[in-house]
């Protein structure tokens, strides 16, 4: 019962802070609101039996990436030029963005809501017919971390190694690009 | 003179063989002529050296033509070769005429020089036709030409282009002979357009003057409108008869065609269109007055005596066809009478002496068309012959006047128009020979008793009346009076009264006036004699004079088929003029009218004082309309030439540039436009790319979900 | 402490909303940083969907979240490096003003 | 010597010689290239003249015929031959070339070698088009003819040469691509009916094509040839091409290239698709387009400021007459049309040469720049007037003979069209005489024209033969007409026969219509003769 309430709370928080991320004039407040979104998301992960993911979310995302963003925003003092012209695109741009977003939302909703009300033709409906609660079983067997770590290191070993390579490339790239060139 | 025929006969012999060789396959050749004894009486006629008649003028033209390039302006050769070439031709024609006279042969003798076109069913040879009609025409053409060539030697003496002039004149005589001697329609057509070409070259002889060149151009184009009619008539004839030769057509016309049928009427109307073009009748006469821009001998030869009579000859030649189409005959007669009256009215108020004579020619040609229109072919040819004499004389006389007035103006350095009669006056004392000879011609053209005009014009008026055309008969009488009037006006303005040359060009000018040299006056005298004697070859028996109908009997065989058709279909002379009275009575009436006309004309001229062009007040009212030629030129300009030019420009600018090229270039621009649209997408702004990217996603998602 | 499987559609709706907000942000904003944030937001929405489905379809979903996070991290690093170098050169990061890519 | 002219070797030599000449030009030094080209073209003309005299006028069969297999797999052979229709055109080409080359000596001052090589290539292309009796070979020469002319206009042309060259190229290329498709269609039909693949003319001409497909195939061929003629709506490339082309280019373009369109109709259009070609609607359309072409071009020509574009429009009018003659489908119209093609080549070629000569002196083509040239250039004035008059069909010149026959022929089948076309004679005077007056007559006001010197020996040597031919054909055209009569008559007879016989249904299957079973052509009896072929019919045994 308490879980349902928490779920709704986190969901609303995530959506509202998401909106504020986009609408805030000052980039710093946008970053902070994004952090709030990440926290509410990790809450949702917990409710969805993804405890390790929730933890990693908080540590990696909120902790590392958002700090990096904040660091960059603060360092380059990007917020001050708001006065020049509105950050939002022209009327045509806004209109286009709005229609696109609404259509996207409608399509996804159509797919998702296809579950019950419309007789379940939705994409999601069939997949539900699968195993009752695979995550629950894995949790008992290996605990929150083990449940995820297991498949990570046997089925997904190659992608795992590739990801590490990706990270290496990103680091080298970031250094090369951001290096201050002597004039 | 002898040297040329000897040389000629050798060449002719050669030509004969060439003709045989070339036409061997077709089996034509002189034999064709011999076998063809169509005429009812008199045996077949074997022409003497037929090719030579054409060859000599052609050689003359070639020699003079070369002269124009080689010895350019020296006068000796052209002034001898020119007249001699035509004289030679006249000699050969005379020889043939004498042979035809003594053998009494009448039958059309066709000589084929070589096969011109033989394609499928069409067989057209270069045929020369010798019969009574073409003989008369040849005599008139070569005779008058010889006289005029001699005159031109004097007239063009100090003109640098004399070689070129005689080249064109000889070429003209060549083409006129081709026209007259042609044995089938295409060969006649070659002559027809050939004379058109020479008239174009000769009108625009002094090409340095823009108006003269334009006058030449106008003559050629208007003639071409007539030639269009001739062409289509030929196609119709070929469609009807399967051949274009005169002899078979004339023979089979009566039975093969329906009397008054559509096709024969169409052919004859088209031929009429051709004749109005060439003989300057309404509506295609506007080129003749402008053609006065050419040297005066040209006006005399081409625009008075020979070329303009081609139309009358063609109608006479295809008389059978016209006889089969009464509607067309009526049209010819009406056009003739109408033109006679219309042109006479304009001539009354013209100040340029040559313009008066030009309109007089148009008027007299109207008479000839009236004659052949009513079916009196012999009368038409008779008037044609006499008219050739006195009109040529009038033009040559006018030329002499202009020559001396120009000389006077030149002395004073005055740049007035020597043709303008208002600066002439009292020239009889200075130029007696020219004066008297022109008086002879004036009396002849007016139709005063002993002179040629009296007989020929009177006969036309009589036939018009007796063949049942009362209105045209009346019109011709009125026109006769007007003719006498304007001719008298011309004579009294030019030769009588006090001289105005000093007034026009300054003191001492009149002293420079002089009588024309012998080489010009001799031809005048010859023509004057002919103007008097010419009429006596055809004296109606109604008159209290010895009855002579030589020309009528001479032409009868050639005209007989047409008359036969006319009789067959109930057309006969009523032997009484519309208002009653015999031929003699009306001859008297027309004589009185002629003399009255002259007196009236003289009185009219003397009545008011004639002012020199510079001070002359502008005419008003009817006089102005007549002087401006009833504004017909302006009408044609606004109705035909203007719109045609506008249409041409529209076709070029709009249809070609805008529509067709527009479409073609449009394709090119369409390609570029598509390219531009594509480039708008590559705007370089990330926002656009993301937007398009998202649209792509939506499309895929939509495809999946919907 | 977990939610019954019936909540799957709700979590999917939430994730869709977040994703749409992300897309809207990318299209609307001119500031490169904000665009980056929105991209991060979109990635997280996807993570949420993975996790939500992992409940029925197996833990693999959650494994994928890791990969997504790795990619997000790498992308953030390189992106920010680009933004810094761009900022240093143009003194501004307004996406609209860069059109060197124009054909 | 006799056998040389009756075998296909004469034609092969005529085709090969210009190519050798082109090579020789490349090797010769820049200044001498012109001389080499002149000698080659004069030799070519000398070689071709006996062809005229050894030609048997009686038969419509292809003479100097020869077929050598070229690409066995597709039944393509090097087949060349000449008959009444193409003989005069071949001679016109070999006559025009030396004159064109000679007229460019003073005109072309840069890249002479390339210029003369292109001219010689062009000659091979043109001769090939007129003599090829294999559709593939015909198409190859058709394209070979196009490229040199494109470069001639593009490089040595006037100010807007690039635009005109491209326009010329695109117009013709579009047409010929369609034609290629049609040729492929034909060969496929042939394969469908007989099982064998062959591009040979004598095989494809006997092909039985269903009426429906005939219209499509004829349409494709007709478009390609109509553009070349040029027929009324597709003509706008001609004035631009002429105005911008160098003198030699214009002479050849007007003299010969335009005739390839008409030749195409005669050789391929009418015999292959007789039913479609004689269908009243099709004949009506072509006659109307021809008639409109005559009147429209005459009107537009009258207001052209540029002499060359005026003459270009007159060519459209002349060829409008030829189209009328061709589609009248009777001996007068056909022979008149073929002769008029030669006449147009001579008259308009001479006009362009003369205009080229005054262009070399005054470097302008605007009519009002001239005036009163008769005083300073009498010989030029004389020849200009004679040629201009022959162009508007003055009797006793060649123009009249052609026009008279065409109009007579057209009158027999379509009187109204012929009468309207006859008014073209009036409009001819309407556009030509004012131009002649403004160029040659009228007072000489401009002082630049004062010291123009008359035509020199070379220029007179170019013009005098053309003047002679103009007058000769005008006065004694029989030798030329006799040579075309047999082939023209045969073409008309065959077209009439086949237009009734064309099968109604779709392209009939291969089974019942075996190749030798086609008994439609009466003279096909002995199997060996073929439609007027002398040489062996079977494909394998070449010469």
ipTM score here?
0.76
Nearest to C1 among A3, A52, A72 (CB): A3
Per-residue confidence (pLDDT) for residue A141, from 0 to 100: 76
Both A2 and A65 in one domain: the answer is yes
For residue A33, the domain's CATH number is: 1.20.120.1200
Measured distance between the N- and C-terminal CA atoms of chain C, rounded to whole angstroms: 56
Average pLDDT, chain D: 87
The CA-based diameter of chain C, rounded to the nearest angstrom, is: 56
- Residue A132's pLDDT is 60
> What whole-number distance in Å separates Cα of residue D234 and Cα of residue D501?
32
**What is the percent of chain B where pLDDT is above 90?**
37
Please tell me whether residues A65 and A36 are part of one structural domain: yes
Here the tokens at position B346 are 């304009």
Inform me whether the pLDDT recorded for B8 exceeds 80. no
Whether pLDDT at D516 is above 60:
no
Average pLDDT over all residues of chain A: 80
CA proximity to A27, closest of A84, A85, A87, A78 = A78
**Mean pLDDT in residue range D446-461:** 88
Mean pLDDT across the stretch C34-54?
90
Same domain, A13 and A65: yes
Q: Is there a single domain that holds both residue A107 and residue A181?
A: no
In whole angstroms, how far apart are CA D99 and each of D247, D251, D350? 10, 9, 9
What is the reported pLDDT for B697? Answer: 86
Contacts with D428 from chain B: Cβ below 8 Å: 224
Task: For residue B85, count other CB atoms closer than 10 A to its CB.
Answer: 29
- What's the whole-number mean pLDDT along residues D489-511? 70
Please list every residue in chain B whose beta carbon sits closer than 8 Å to the beta carbon of residue D412: 235, 238-239
Residue of A2, A99, A112, A166 to mutate for C, most C C-beta atoms under 10 A: A112
| Whole-number average pLDDT of chain B | 85
Out of A82, A116, A146, a domain closes at A82
Looking at per-residue confidence, does B338 or D158 come out higher? B338
Shortest alpha-carbon distance between residue D295 and chain B (Å): 10
- What integer pLDDT is reported at residue D119 of this predicted model? 94
A99 near C CB under 8 A: no
- To the nearest whole Å, the CA of A79 is away from the closest chain C CA by 9
Lowest mean pLDDT among A163-177, B538-552, D21-35, D360-374: B538-552
A46 CB-near residues (< 8 Å, 6+ apart): A54, C1
Confidence category of residue B72, pLDDT binned at 50, 70, 90: low
* pLDDT tens by residue, B529-559: 998 888 888 888 777 888 888 888 888 888 8
Main-chain dihedrals φ then ψ at residue D78, nearest 5 degrees: -90, 90
Q: pLDDT: is B217 or B32 the higher one?
A: B217
C103 interaction partners in chain B (CB closer than 8 Å): 679, 682, 684
Domains in chain C with CATH codes:
5-101 (1.10.287.3510)
CA distance D537 to B678: 57
> Does one domain contain both A1 and A78?
yes
Residue D542 banded pLDDT, cuts 50, 70, 90: very low
Spell out which chain A residues touch chain B, with contact meaning CB-CB distance below 8 angstroms.
Answer: 89, 93, 96-97, 100, 103-104, 107-108, 110-111, 123
pLDDT above 50 (res B661):
yes
Q: For position D510, what pLDDT does the model report?
A: 35
Is the Cα torsion angle B266, B267, B268, B270 positive or negative in sign? positive
Model confidence band, residue A114 (pLDDT cutoffs 50, 70, 90): low
Interfacial D residues in 116-135 facing B (CB < 8 Å):
none
The Cα–Cα gap between D357 and D380 comes to 9
Collect all residues with Cβ–Cβ distance below 8 Å to A168 and sequence separation of at least 6: none
Query: What is d(CA D103, CA D156) in angstroms, rounded to the nearest whole number?
Result: 14
Q: Cβ separation of A4 and C1 shorter than 8 Å?
A: no
Is the pLDDT score of B276 beyond 90?
Answer: yes
Q: How confident is the model at residue B73 (pLDDT cuts 50, 70, 90)?
A: low
Domain count, chain A: 3
Chains A, B: CB contacts within 8 A come to 28
Tell me the per-residue pLDDT of D63-88, one tens digit each, with 9 for 90 and over. 888 888 888 888 899 999 998 899 99
Contact D389, D433 (CB under 8 A): no
Model pLDDT, residue A177 = 86
Q: Give which of D94, D101, D81 is closest to D47, Cα–Cα.
A: D94
Please give the angle made by the CA atoms of B349, B353 and B354, to the nearest 5 degrees: 110
Closest alpha carbon within chain C to B685: C99
pLDDT at residue D505 in the model: 52
Contact C101 B691 (CB under 8 A): no
Average pLDDT of the segment spanning B180-190: 93
- Whether A and D touch, i.e. at least 3 CB pairs below 8 A, reads as no
- Is there an interface between D and C (3+ Cβ pairs < 8 A)? no
Measured between beta carbons, the chain D residues lying within 8 angstroms of B655 are 296, 300
Q: Which residue of A has its CA nearest to C79?
A: A174
Which region holds residue B120: left if phi is over 0, alpha if psi is between -120 and 50, else beta? left
Residue A93: give the domain boundaries.
Answer: 86-131
Question: Three-state SS across B180-237?
Answer: HHECEHHHHHHHHHHHHHHHHHHHCCCCCCHHHHHHHHHHHHHHHHHHHHHHHHHHHH
3-state class (DSSP) for residue D392 = coil
Residue A95 shares a structural domain with residue A148? no
| Residue A182 clears pLDDT 80, i.e. is over it | no
Q: Subunits touching B (CB < 8 Å, at least 3 pairs)?
A: A, C, D
Q: Which segments of B70-206 does DSSP mark as H helices, in order?
A: 76-103, 132-155, 162-181, 185-203
pLDDT at D126 (0 to 100): 95
**Partner residue opposite B656 with nearest CB, options D236, D389, D404:** D236
In Å, how far are B399, D112, D339, D470 from D466, measured between CA atoms? 40, 25, 15, 6
Chains C and B touch (3+ CB pairs under 8 A): yes
Residue D541, pLDDT > 70, answer no
Residues D8-56 have pLDDT tens digits of: 888 899 999 999 999 999 998 988 889 999 999 999 999 999 989 888 8
Are the Cβ atoms of B684 and C100 closer than 8 angstroms?
Answer: yes
Beta bridge partners of D69: D77
Most confident option among B26-35, B38-47, B107-116: B107-116
The per-residue pLDDT for D473 is: 94
The B-side interface with A (CB below 8 A) comprises 687, 691, 694-695, 697-698, 701-702, 704-706
Q: Would you call B694 and A100 a contact, using CB atoms and an 8 Å cutoff?
A: yes
CA distances for D230 relative to A24, D215, D273, D283, angstroms? 71, 20, 21, 17
Tens digit of each residue's pLDDT (9 = 90 or more) over D124-175? 999 999 999 999 999 999 999 999 999 999 999 888 889 999 999 999 999 9
- B702 or B57, which is more confident: B57
- State the nearest Cα–Cα gap between B675 and chain A, in angstroms: 24
- Please check whether residues A118 and A167 belong to one and the same domain: no
Query: Between residues 55 and 94 of chain C, which touch chain B (CB distance below 8 Å)?
Result: none
Residue A81: the pLDDT is 55
DSSP state of B450: T
Q: Is the pLDDT of residue D213 over 60?
A: yes
Chains A and C touch, contact meaning at least 3 pairs of CB atoms under 8 angstroms apart:
yes
> What's the whole-number mean pLDDT along residues B640-646?
91
Q: Note the pTM of the prediction, 2 decimals.
A: 0.82
Q: Find out whether D475 and D396 touch, Cβ atoms under 8 Å.
A: yes
pLDDT reading at B94 higher than 80 = yes
Which residues between 140 and 169 in chain A have a beta carbon less than 8 angstroms from any beta carbon of chain C?
A: 147-148, 150-152, 155-156, 159-160, 163, 166-167, 169
Same domain, A21 and A63: yes
Q: What pLDDT was estimated at residue D452?
A: 87
Residue A179 vs residue D223, higher pLDDT: D223
Whether the Cβ atoms of residue A139 and residue A147 lie closer than 8 Å to each other: yes
Residue D197 in this model has a pLDDT that exceeds 50: yes
| List of chains touching C (3+ CB pairs within 8 A) | A, B
pLDDT at D521 exceeding the cut of 70 = no
> What burial letters (b/e) apply to B302-336, b meaning 16+ CB within 10 Å?
bbbbbbbbbbbbbbbbbbbbbbbbbebbebbbbbb
Q: Are the beta carbons of D394 and B121 separated by less than 8 Å?
A: no
B to C CB pairs, distance under 8 Å: 28
Rounded distance between C-alpha atoms, residue D142 and residue D128, angstroms: 8
- Structure tokens of D368? 């009002």
Q: Measured between CA atoms, how close is B699 to chain C, in angstroms?
A: 15
On whether both A157 and A177 belong to a single domain, the answer is: yes
pLDDT above 90 covers what percent of chain A?
20
pLDDT at B167: 92
The pLDDT, as a whole number, for residue D232 is: 86
Cβ contact, residue pair D395, B660, below 8 Å: no
| B228, pLDDT greater than 90 | yes
Best to test chain D binding among B213, B215, B284 (most D CBs inside 10 Å): B213
The residue ranking higher by pLDDT, B45 or D273, is D273
Are A12 and A58 found together in one domain? yes
Contact across the interface for B194 and D405, Cβ inside 8 Å: no
**Residue A5: pLDDT over 70:** yes
Judging contacts by C-beta atoms under 8 Å, the chain C residues touching residue A32 are none
Question: Is the CB of residue C26 less than 8 Å away from at least one CB of chain B?
Answer: yes
pLDDT, position D522:
33
Mutate to test the interface with D, among B119, B184, B188, B218 (most CBs of D within 10 A): B119
Predicted pLDDT of residue B147: 92
Kindly tell me the burial class for residue B397, based on how many C-beta atoms sit within 10 Å of its own C-beta (0-12, 13-18, 19 or more). Answer: buried
Average of pLDDT values for B85-106? 89
pLDDT of A48 reads 85
Residues A124 and A67 in one domain: no
**Statement: residue B608 has pLDDT above 70:** yes
Same structural domain for residues A27 and A98? Answer: no
């Amino acid at each position: 019962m308490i879980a349902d309430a928490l779920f709704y709370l986190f969901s609303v928080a995530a959506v509202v802070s998401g909106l504020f991320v986009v609408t805030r004039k000052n980039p710093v407040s946008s970053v902070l609101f994004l952090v709030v979104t990440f926290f509410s998301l990790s809450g949702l992960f917990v409710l969805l039996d993804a405890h390790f993911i929730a933890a990693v979310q908080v540590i990696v995302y909120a902790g590392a990436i958002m700090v990096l963003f904040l660091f960059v925003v603060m360092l380059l003092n990007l917020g001050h030029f708001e006065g020049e012209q509105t950050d939002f695109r022209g009327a045509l741009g806004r209109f286009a963005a709005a229609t696109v977003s609404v259509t996207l939302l409608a399509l996804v909703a159509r797919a998702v809501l296809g579950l019950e009300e419309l007789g379940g033709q939705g994409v999601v409906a069939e997949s539900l017919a699968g195993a009752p609660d695979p995550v629950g079983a894995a949790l008992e067997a290996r605990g929150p971390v083990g449940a995820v770590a297991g498949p990570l290191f046997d089925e997904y070993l190659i992608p795992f190694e590739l990801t590490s390579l990706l990270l290496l490339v990103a680091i080298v790239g970031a250094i090369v690009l951001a290096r201050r060139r002597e004039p | 003179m002898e040297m040329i025929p000897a040389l000629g006969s050798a060449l002719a012999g050669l030509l004969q063989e060439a003709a045989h060789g070339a036409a061997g396959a077709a089996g034509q050749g002189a034999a064709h002529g011999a076998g063809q004894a169509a005429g009812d009486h008199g045996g077949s006629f074997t022409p003497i050296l037929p090719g030579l008649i054409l060859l000599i003028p052609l050689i003359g033209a070639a020699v003079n033509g070369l002269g124009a390039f080689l010895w350019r302006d020296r006068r000796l050769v052209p002034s001898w070769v020119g007249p001699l070439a035509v004289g030679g031709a006249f000699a050969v024609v005379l020889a043939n005429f004498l042979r035809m006279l003594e053998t009494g042969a009448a039958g059309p003798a066709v000589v084929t020089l070589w096969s011109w076109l033989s394609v499928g069913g069409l067989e057209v040879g270069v045929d020369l036709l010798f019969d009574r009609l073409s003989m008369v025409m040849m005599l008139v053409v070569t005779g008058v030409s010889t006289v005029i060539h001699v005159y031109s030697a004097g007239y063009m003496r100090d003109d640098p282009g004399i070689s070129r002039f005689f080249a064109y004149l000889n070429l003209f005589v060549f083409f006129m002979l081709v026209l007259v001697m042609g044995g089938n329609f295409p060969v006649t057509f070659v002559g027809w357009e050939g004379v058109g070409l020479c008239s174009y070259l000769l009108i625009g002889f002094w090409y340095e003057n823009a108006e003269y060149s334009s006058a030449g151009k106008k003559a050629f184009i208007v003639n071409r409108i007539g030639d269009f009619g001739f062409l289509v008539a030929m196609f119709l004839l070929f469609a009807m008869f399967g051949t274009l030769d005169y002899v078979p057509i004339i023979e089979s016309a009566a039975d093969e065609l329906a009397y008054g049928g559509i096709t024969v009427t169409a052919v004859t109307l088209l031929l009429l269109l051709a004749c109005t073009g060439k003989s300057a009748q309404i509506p295609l006469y506007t080129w003749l007055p402008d053609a006065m821009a050419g040297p005066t001998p040209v006006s005399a030869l081409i625009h008075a005596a020979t070329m303009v009579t081609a139309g009358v000859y063609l109608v006479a030649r295809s008389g059978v066809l016209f006889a089969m189409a009464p509607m067309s005959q009526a049209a010819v007669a009406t056009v003739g009478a109408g033109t006679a009256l219309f042109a006479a009215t304009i001539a009354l108020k013209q100040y340029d002496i040559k313009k008066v004579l030009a309109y007089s020619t148009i008027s007299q040609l109207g008479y000839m068309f009236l004659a052949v229109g009513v079916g009196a072919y012999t009368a038409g040819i008779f008037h044609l012959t006499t008219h050739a004499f006195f009109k040529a004389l009038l033009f040559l006389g006018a030329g002499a006047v202009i020559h001396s007035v120009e000389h006077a103006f030149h002395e004073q350095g005055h740049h007035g128009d020597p043709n303008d009669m208002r600066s002439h006056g009292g020239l009889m004392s200075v130029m007696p020979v020219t004066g008297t000879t022109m008086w002879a011609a004036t009396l002849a053209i007016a139709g005063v008793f002993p002179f040629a005009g009296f007989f020929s014009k009177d006969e036309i008026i009589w036939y018009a009346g007796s063949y049942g055309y009362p209105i045209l008969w009346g019109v011709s009488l009125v026109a006769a009076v007007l003719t006498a009037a304007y001719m008298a006006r011309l004579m009294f303005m030019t030769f009588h009264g006090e001289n105005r040359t000093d007034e026009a060009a300054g003191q001492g000018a009149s002293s420079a006036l002089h009588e024309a040299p012998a080489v010009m006056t001799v031809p005048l005298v010859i023509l004057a004699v002919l103007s008097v004697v010419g009429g006596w070859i055809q004296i109606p028996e109604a008159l209290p004079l010895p009855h002579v109908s030589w020309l009528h009997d001479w032409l009868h065989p050639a005209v007989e088929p047409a008359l036969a058709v006319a009789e067959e279909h109930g057309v006969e002379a009523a032997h009484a003029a519309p208002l009653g009275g015999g031929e003699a009575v009306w001859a008297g009436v027309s004589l009185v009218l002629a003399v009255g006309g002259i007196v009236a004309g003289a009185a009219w001229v003397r009545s008011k004082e004639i002012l020199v062009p510079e001070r002359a007040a502008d005419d008003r009212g009817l006089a102005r309309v007549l002087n401006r030629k009833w504004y017909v030129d302006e009408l044609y300009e606004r109705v035909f030439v203007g719109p045609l030019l506008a249409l041409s420009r529209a076709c070029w600018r709009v249809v070609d540039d805008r529509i067709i090229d527009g479409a073609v270039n449009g394709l090119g621009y369409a390609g570029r436009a598509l390219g531009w649209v594509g480039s708008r997408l590559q705007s370089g702004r990330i926002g656009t790319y993301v937007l398009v990217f998202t649209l792509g996603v939506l499309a895929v998602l939509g495809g999946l979900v919907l | 402490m977990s939610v019954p499987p019936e909540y799957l559609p709700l979590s999917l709706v939430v994730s869709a909303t977040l994703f749409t907000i992300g897309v809207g942000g990318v299209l609307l904003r001119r500031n490169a940083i904000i665009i980056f944030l929105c991209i991060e937001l979109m990635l997280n929405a996807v993570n949420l969907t993975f996790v939500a489905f992992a409940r029925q379809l197996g833990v693999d979903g959650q494994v994928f979240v890791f990969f997504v996070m790795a990619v997000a991290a790498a992308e953030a690093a390189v992106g920010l490096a680009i933004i810094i170098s761009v900022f240093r050169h143009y003194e501004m990061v307004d996406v609209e003003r860069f059109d060197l890519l124009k054909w | 010597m006799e056998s040389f002219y009756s075998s296909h070797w004469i034609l092969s030599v005529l085709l090969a010689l210009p190519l050798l000449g082109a090579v020789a030009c490349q090797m010769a030094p820049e200044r001498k290239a012109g001389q080499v080209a002149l000698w080659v073209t004069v030799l070519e003309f000398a070689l071709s003249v006996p062809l005229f005299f050894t030609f048997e006028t009686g038969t419509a069969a292809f003479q100097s015929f020869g077929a050598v297999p070229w690409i066995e797999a597709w039944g393509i052979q090097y087949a060349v031959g000449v008959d009444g229709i193409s003989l005069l055109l071949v001679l016109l080409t070999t006559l025009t070339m030396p004159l064109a080359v000679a007229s460019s000596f003073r005109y072309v001052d840069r890249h002479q070698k390339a210029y003369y090589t292109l001219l010689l290539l062009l000659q091979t292309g043109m001769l090939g088009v007129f003599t090829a009796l294999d559709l593939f070979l015909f198409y190859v020469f058709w394209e070979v003819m196009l490229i040199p002319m494109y470069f001639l206009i593009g490089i040595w042309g006037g100010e807007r040469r690039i635009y005109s060259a491209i326009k010329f190229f695109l117009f013709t290329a579009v047409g010929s691509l369609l034609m290629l498709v049609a040729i492929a269609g034909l060969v496929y039909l042939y394969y469908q009916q007989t099982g064998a693949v062959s591009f040979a003319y004598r095989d494809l001409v006997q092909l039985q094509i269903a009426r429906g497909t005939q219209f499509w195939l004829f349409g494709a061929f007709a478009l390609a040839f109509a553009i070349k003629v040029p027929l009324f709506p597709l003509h706008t490339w001609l004035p631009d091409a002429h105005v911008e082309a160098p003198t030699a280019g214009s002479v050849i373009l007007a003299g010969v290239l335009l005739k390839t369109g008409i030749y195409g109709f005669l050789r391929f259009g009418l015999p292959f698709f007789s039913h479609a070609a004689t269908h009243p609607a099709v004949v009506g359309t072509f006659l109307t387009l021809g008639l409109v072409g005559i009147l429209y071009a005459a009107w537009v020509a009258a207001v052209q400021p540029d002499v060359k574009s005026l003459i270009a429009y007159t060519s459209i009018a002349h060829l409008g007459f030829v189209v009328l003659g061709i589609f009248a489908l009777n001996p007068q119209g056909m022979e008149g049309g073929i002769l008029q093609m030669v006449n147009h080549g001579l008259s308009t070629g001479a006009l362009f040469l003369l205009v080229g000569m005054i262009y070399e002196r005054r470097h302008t083509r605007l009519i009002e720049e001239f005036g009163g040239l008769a005083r300073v250039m009498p010989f030029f004035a004389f020849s200009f007037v004679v040629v201009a008059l022959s162009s508007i069909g003055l009797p006793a010149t060649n123009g009249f003979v052609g026009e008279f026959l065409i109009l007579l022929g057209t009158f027999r089948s379509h009187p109204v069209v012929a009468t309207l076309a006859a008014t073209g004679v009036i409009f001819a005077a309407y556009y030509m005489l004012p131009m002649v007056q403004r160029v040659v007559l009228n007072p000489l006001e401009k002082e630049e024209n004062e010291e123009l010197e008359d035509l020199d020996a070379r220029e007179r040597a170019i013009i005098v033969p053309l003047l002679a031919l103009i007058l000769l054909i005008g006065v004694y055209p029989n030798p030329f007409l006799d040579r075309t009569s047999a082939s023209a008559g045969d073409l008309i007879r065959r077209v009439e026969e086949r237009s009734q016989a064309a099968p109604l249904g779709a392209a009939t299957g291969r089974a019942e219509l075996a190749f030798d079973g086609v008994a439609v052509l009466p003279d096909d009896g002995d199997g060996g003769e073929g439609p007027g072929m002398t040489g062996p019919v079977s494909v394998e045994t070449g010469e």
